[in-house]
């Protein structure tokens, strides 16, 4: 009966949306639509702004650079603008529906003589979206790098409300959530593990990336499946005007990107690769053991797109990345694959649709040397196949309606072990595979009620279905298996259905001030079985099931946005409260790897999080950067953990400060610095000890009762650009970076251990990873 209620609710909501705007629709209006592109490369610009100069009427381009704006006929002064590009103003006569494709010129740093604003000047204030960060790869490139690798993920960690989960980790926690609650998408395909080299680098190669958007809250209805955040990363389409090569050499890796048109400007491609190279020097090492080792990672991004005609365009993109560590003790390999096929279609100048087929895969193996009877190989993988349809409908000036559906097939193989010795100890050991279907159906509208008041409301219905073949265990109150049920292949034996309402209101007092409020409910059905803080490549994703209820999150946020000094200074202040239900934690000493009864290791409860995020961003010709401060708290209450008392969540770090500054000394030289500070991570400390069979065993405090020392670090960088030679299309730059410039020995791990010489003595020992790390990167483009 519940299902019917939900369906009826959804249908009436859809009906409301369909009827309401059309009632308001004016017959004698005309639609201005088209694509916005980079003039030099032909790349579509995502989220570019199109607005009338004299009135607060406007829109922004969607993820494919398409825009549509319905206006009364007549002559309009329309401004087209985008972060990092010269804005263009155009007088447009609009009698009937009309297509205007606009190409914007990217700002060249060295030519910058006039004051140009990065975006629609007061986007911070006027954007109908809060808890949102947008990064441009150009901006990121100027930040200090870690070992010569400038990283999107590391840059995101400098934003308010975003913490890294451990020093040097690519994993991040958003507003107190776990790192498996972040949806990370590359061209819409889920990237399950964003780490290279155990997290010290991310899988994203800047050279292949066009656009990065982060939603920390106020998550649009078109996104689902994760509780805390969405990171939407889009790959470049490839230059469709001329052939280009870009690349670079850094301390640990080198990169090369080729892009260009194929045949005509209707088709273009991009191919971008990155590989670490220090293992190439290993054969030169004196020790034989080291010579036979390998340690590397690589990424390959490839994309091709073809425009059939004005109304149809196809994209095919893929990512392939892998890490490998091998020596005579062990062999570990892991990596992601994603494939995306998209078809953009314009039904009319008001209705845009994108159909997507997705494939995503993550796998790893772990093996011991293959000589002995105890030698083994362990393989695990997961894969997704999805279909999506996303519609954008621009019925009139004051409404933008998005609706669509997504369906995914998930297959998780948590692990299979087999012996590799000639005469082996092991039988083939298989953990039961998990299969599931996940569906989403959504509709939302952005509606301008008055010039000052904008609404955004939407609803997502999500469904999750467990599918055989599978053996489902039943557990009693003490988490012991009491029974099991076998489900045949293809049998759907469990369905979860739920609503995810989303709501946002913006009230703009004037050009300089606005207030935004939002509410969103999110649901998550698939999570990571991992109780370590930083995570390892040995990921096991497990689905909701009759034993594991979907996680729910209700987030309320309120923000005040203000611009000053001719929009050079952007201020924002946001506060949020999150209540999460069916939070999953793991019992003490949980055994999560290769455990057929994994669900018996789970404990369920609730968590809550609240915080305040303040950010001041300054953008001028010479100086730009930001200062952000976050105060946040997150706690969990889980039955059977910490005796049922609330405890600090692993990522609870009350104070967090980031300062980022970039100063352009002249046309060729610029310097950057960033400084971060945050409260230490919560930890459990010993409060007593005893001896057991020769070892000293601690008696512990309550969970996460104490904290590690505070963390702080300063990074610096200097970028030198080559002289520009007139007529030569060649550019190069050197980037010199220092990570942890004042050599702070930040605690990575704090251990209490027995002294080697005196077995009765115990000491506290800290491990720190990095002292000062210099790096050099050379980048070129021709």
Residues 411-470 close enough to bind another protein by CB under 8 A: 417, 423-427, 429
Decide: 444 and 222 in contact? Cβ < 8 Å.
yes
Q: Which is nearer to another protein, 44 or 151 (CB)?
A: 151
> Taking the complex as a whole, how short is the minimal distance between the CB of residue 748 and another protein, in angstroms?
7
Site stretch for another protein (CB under 8 A), options 108-116, 434-442, 627-635, 757-765: 757-765
Q: What x/- string results for residues 565 through 604 when contact with another protein is judged by CB under 8 A?
A: ---------------------x-xxxx-xxx---------
Among 341, 355, 685, 780, binds another protein (CB under 8 A): 685
Q: Which is nearer to another protein, 267 or 531 (CB)?
A: 531
Decide: 401 and 21 in contact? Cβ < 8 Å.
yes
Contacts with 275 (C-beta within 8 Å, 6 or more apart), sequence order? 253, 254, 296, 297, 298, 299
What gap in Å lies between CA 448 and CA 585, rounded to an integer? 42
> Taking the complex as a whole, how short is the minimal distance between the CB of residue 483 and another protein, in angstroms?
19
Among 742, 761, 776, 782, binds another protein (CB under 8 A): 761
Strands 669-678 and 682-683: unpaired
Decide: 261 and 268 in contact? Cβ < 8 Å.
yes
Site stretch for another protein (CB under 8 A), options 77-85, 191-199, 266-274, 563-571: 191-199
* Structure tokens that stand for 679 in this block: 């409260």
Site stretch for another protein (CB under 8 A), options 28-36, 355-363, 369-377, 511-519: 369-377
Among 90, 93, 371, 655, binds another protein (CB under 8 A): 371
Decide: 410 and 438 in contact? Cβ < 8 Å.
yes
7 is an interface residue for another protein by CB under 8 A: no
> Taking the complex as a whole, how short is the minimal distance between the CB of residue 510 and another protein, in angstroms?
47
Looking at residue 431, the DSSP 8-state letter turns out to be P
Nearest in space to 364 (alpha carbons), one of 539, 512, 199, 483: 539
What gap in Å lies between CA 304 and CA 341, rounded to an integer? 10
What gap in Å lies between CA 68 and CA 346, rounded to an integer? 11
Nearest in space to 203 (alpha carbons), one of 348, 72, 362: 362
744 is an interface residue for another protein by CB under 8 A: no
> Taking the complex as a whole, how short is the minimal distance between the CB of residue 328 and another protein, in angstroms?
4
- Return the residues of window 248-287 that contact another protein according to CB under 8 A: 287
Site stretch for another protein (CB under 8 A), options 85-93, 442-450, 565-573, 758-766: 758-766
Nearest in space to 166 (alpha carbons), one of 636, 708, 613, 620: 708
Among 137, 194, 366, 463, binds another protein (CB under 8 A): 366
Torsion 516-120-216-188 (CA) sign: positive
Instruction: Provide the terminal-to-terminal Cα distance of the chain, rounded to the nearest Å.
Output: 63
CA angle centred on 18, ends 17 and 23, rounded to 5°:
100
Among 498, 501, 654, 698, binds another protein (CB under 8 A): 698
> Taking the complex as a whole, how short is the minimal distance between the CB of residue 147 and another protein, in angstroms?
9
**Exposure b/e, 611-645, CB count within 10 A at least 16 = b:** bebbbbbbbeeeebbbbbbbbbebbbbbeebbeee
479 is an interface residue for another protein by CB under 8 A: no
Nearest in space to 63 (alpha carbons), one of 188, 190, 214: 188
Q: Which is nearer to another protein, 572 or 681 (CB)?
A: 681
CA angle centred on 684, ends 680 and 690, rounded to 5°:
145
- Return the residues of window 128-187 that contact another protein according to CB under 8 A: 165-169
606 is an interface residue for another protein by CB under 8 A: no
Q: Which is nearer to another protein, 763 or 776 (CB)?
A: 763
What gap in Å lies between CA 672 and CA 227, rounded to an integer? 34
197 is an interface residue for another protein by CB under 8 A: yes
611 is an interface residue for another protein by CB under 8 A: no
- Return the residues of window 377-406 that contact another protein according to CB under 8 A: 378
Q: Which is nearer to another protein, 202 or 619 (CB)?
A: 202
Among 684, 722, 724, 732, binds another protein (CB under 8 A): 684
Site stretch for another protein (CB under 8 A), options 101-109, 364-372, 459-467, 493-501: 364-372
Among 6, 52, 282, 372, binds another protein (CB under 8 A): 372
Q: Which is nearer to another protein, 3 or 761 (CB)?
A: 761
- Return the residues of window 286-305 that contact another protein according to CB under 8 A: 287-290, 295
Q: What are phi and psi of 46, to 5 degrees?
A: -95, 125
Among 10, 768, 778, 780, binds another protein (CB under 8 A): 768
What gap in Å lies between CA 68 and CA 99, rounded to an integer? 9
Q: What is the size of the binding site for another protein (CB under 8 A)?
A: 93
What gap in Å lies between CA 352 and CA 653, rounded to an integer? 43
> Taking the complex as a whole, how short is the minimal distance between the CB of residue 531 and another protein, in angstroms?
4
Among 452, 766, 774, 782, binds another protein (CB under 8 A): 766
Among 243, 560, 748, 778, binds another protein (CB under 8 A): 748
Q: Which helix (H) or strand (E) holds 208?
A: none
Nearest in space to 542 (alpha carbons), one of 411, 348, 363: 411
Decide: 639 and 602 in contact? Cβ < 8 Å.
no
Decide: 683 and 708 in contact? Cβ < 8 Å.
yes
Residue listed under structure tokens 């012991």: 480
Helix (H, G, I), strand (E, B) or coil at 646: coil
690 is an interface residue for another protein by CB under 8 A: yes
Helix (H, G, I), strand (E, B) or coil at 382: strand
* Structure tokens that stand for 17 in this block: 């949306």
756 is an interface residue for another protein by CB under 8 A: no
> Taking the complex as a whole, how short is the minimal distance between the CB of residue 639 and another protein, in angstroms?
15
Among 767, 774, 776, 782, binds another protein (CB under 8 A): 767
Residue listed under structure tokens 């994993």: 171
- Return the residues of window 302-341 that contact another protein according to CB under 8 A: 325, 327-330, 332
Site stretch for another protein (CB under 8 A), options 31-39, 576-584, 665-673, 698-706: 698-706
What gap in Å lies between CA 661 and CA 571, rounded to an integer? 16
Strand order of the sheet with strand 49-52?
A: 58-60, 49-52, 74-81, 88-94
What gap in Å lies between CA 93 and CA 112, rounded to an integer? 32
Decide: 361 and 322 in contact? Cβ < 8 Å.
no
> Taking the complex as a whole, how short is the minimal distance between the CB of residue 379 and another protein, in angstroms?
14
Site stretch for another protein (CB under 8 A), options 65-73, 458-466, 511-519, 752-760: 752-760
Looking at residue 743, the DSSP 8-state letter turns out to be -
Site stretch for another protein (CB under 8 A), options 79-87, 105-113, 362-370, 568-576: 362-370
- Return the residues of window 200-259 that contact another protein according to CB under 8 A: 200
687 is an interface residue for another protein by CB under 8 A: yes
69 is an interface residue for another protein by CB under 8 A: no
Nearest in space to 249 (alpha carbons), one of 782, 780, 777, 781: 777
- Return the residues of window 106-135 that contact another protein according to CB under 8 A: none
751 is an interface residue for another protein by CB under 8 A: yes
What gap in Å lies between CA 236 and CA 144, rounded to an integer? 23
374 is an interface residue for another protein by CB under 8 A: yes
Among 764, 774, 776, 782, binds another protein (CB under 8 A): 764
772 is an interface residue for another protein by CB under 8 A: no
- Return the residues of window 515-544 that contact another protein according to CB under 8 A: 531-536
> Taking the complex as a whole, how short is the minimal distance between the CB of residue 57 and another protein, in angstroms?
50
């Amino acid at each position: 009966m519940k299902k019917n209620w939900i369906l009826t609710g959804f249908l009436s909501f859809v009906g409301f949306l369909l009827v309401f705007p059309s009632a308001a629709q004016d017959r004698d209006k005309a639609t201005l639509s088209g694509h916005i592109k980079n003039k030099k490369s032909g790349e579509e610009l995502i989220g570019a702004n199109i607005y009338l100069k004299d009135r607060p009427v406007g829109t922004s381009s969607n993820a494919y650079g398409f825009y549509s704006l319905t206006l009364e006929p007549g002559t309009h002064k329309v401004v087209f603008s985008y972060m990092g590009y010269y804005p263009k103003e155009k007088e447009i006569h609009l009698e009937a529906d009309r297509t205007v494709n606009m190409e914007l010129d990217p700002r060249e740093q060295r030519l910058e003589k006039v004051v140009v604003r990065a975006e629609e000047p007061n986007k911070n204030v006027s954007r109908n979206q809060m808890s949102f960060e947008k990064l441009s790869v150009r901006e990121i490139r100027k930040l200090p790098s870690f070992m010569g690798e400038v990283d999107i993920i590391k840059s995101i960690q400098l934003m308010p409300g975003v913490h890294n989960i451990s020093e040097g980790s690519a994993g991040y926690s958003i507003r107190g959530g776990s790192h498996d609650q972040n949806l990370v998408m590359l061209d819409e395909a889920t990237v399950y593990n964003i780490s290279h080299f155990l997290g010290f680098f991310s899988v994203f190669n800047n050279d292949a990336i066009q656009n990065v958007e982060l939603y920390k809250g106020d998550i649009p209805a078109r996104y689902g499946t994760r509780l805390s955040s969405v990171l939407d990363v889009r790959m470049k389409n490839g230059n469709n005007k001329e052939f280009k090569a870009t690349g670079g050499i850094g301390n640990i890796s080198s990169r090369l990107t080729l892009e260009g048109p194929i045949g005509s400007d209707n088709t273009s491609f991009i191919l971008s690769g990155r590989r670490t190279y220090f293992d190439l020097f290993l054969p030169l090492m004196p020790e034989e053991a080291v010579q036979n080792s390998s340690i590397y990672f690589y990424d390959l991004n490839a994309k091709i797109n073809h425009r059939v005609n004005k109304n149809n365009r196809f994209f095919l993109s893929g990512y392939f990345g892998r890490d490998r560590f091998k020596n005579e003790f062990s062999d570990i390999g892991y990596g992601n694959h994603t494939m995306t096929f998209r078809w953009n279609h314009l039904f009319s100048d008001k209705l845009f649709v994108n159909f997507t087929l997705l494939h995503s895969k993550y796998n790893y193996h772990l093996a011991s040397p293959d000589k002995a009877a105890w030698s083994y190989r362990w393989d695990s993988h997961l894969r997704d196949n999805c279909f999506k349809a996303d519609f954008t409908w621009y019925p009139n000036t004051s409404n933008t309606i998005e609706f669509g559906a997504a369906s995914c097939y998930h297959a998780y193989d948590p692990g299979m072990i087999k012996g590799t010795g000639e005469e082996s100890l092991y039988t083939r050991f298989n953990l039961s595979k998990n299969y599931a279907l996940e569906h989403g159906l959504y509709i939302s509208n952005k509606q301008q009620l008055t010039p000052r008041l904008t609404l955004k409301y939407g609803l997502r219905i999500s469904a999750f279905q467990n599918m055989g073949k599978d053996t489902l265990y039943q557990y009693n109150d003490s988490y012991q298996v009491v029974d099991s049920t076998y489900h045949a292949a293809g049998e759907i034996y469990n369905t979860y259905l739920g609503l995810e309402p989303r709501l946002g209101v913006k009230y703009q007092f004037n050009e300089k001030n606005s207030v935004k409020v939002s509410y969103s409910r999110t649901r998550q059905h698939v999570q990571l079985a991992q109780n370590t803080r930083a995570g390892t490549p040995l990921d096991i994703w497990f689905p909701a099931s009759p034993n594991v209820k979907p996680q729910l999150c209700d987030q309320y946020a309120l923000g005040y946005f203000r611009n000053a000094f001719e929009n050079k200074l952007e201020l924002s202040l946001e506060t949020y409260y999150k209540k999460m239900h069916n939070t999953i934690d793991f019992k003490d000493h949980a055994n999560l790897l290769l455990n057929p009864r994994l669900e018996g290791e789970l404990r369920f409860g609730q968590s809550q999080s609240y915080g305040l995020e303040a950010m001041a961003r300054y953008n001028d010709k010479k100086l730009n950067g930001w200062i952000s401060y976050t105060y946040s708290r997150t706690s969990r209450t889980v039955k059977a953990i910490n005796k049922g008392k609330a405890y600090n969540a692993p990522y609870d770090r009350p104070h967090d400060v980031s300062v980022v500054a970039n100063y352009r000394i002249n046309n060729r030289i610029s310097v950057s610095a960033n400084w971060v500070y945050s409260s230490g991570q919560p930890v459990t400390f010993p409060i007593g000890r005893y001896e057991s069979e020769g070892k000293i065993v601690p008696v512990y405090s309550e969970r996460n009762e104490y904290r590690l020392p505070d963390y702080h670090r300063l990074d610096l960088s200097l970028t030198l650009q080559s002289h520009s030679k007139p007529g030569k299309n060649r550019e190069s730059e050197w980037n010199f970076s220092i990570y942890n410039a004042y050599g702070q020995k930040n605690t990575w791990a704090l251990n209490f251990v027995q002294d080697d010489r005196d077995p009765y003595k115990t000491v506290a020992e800290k491990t720190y990873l990095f002292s000062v790390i210099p790096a050099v990167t050379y980048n070129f483009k021709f």
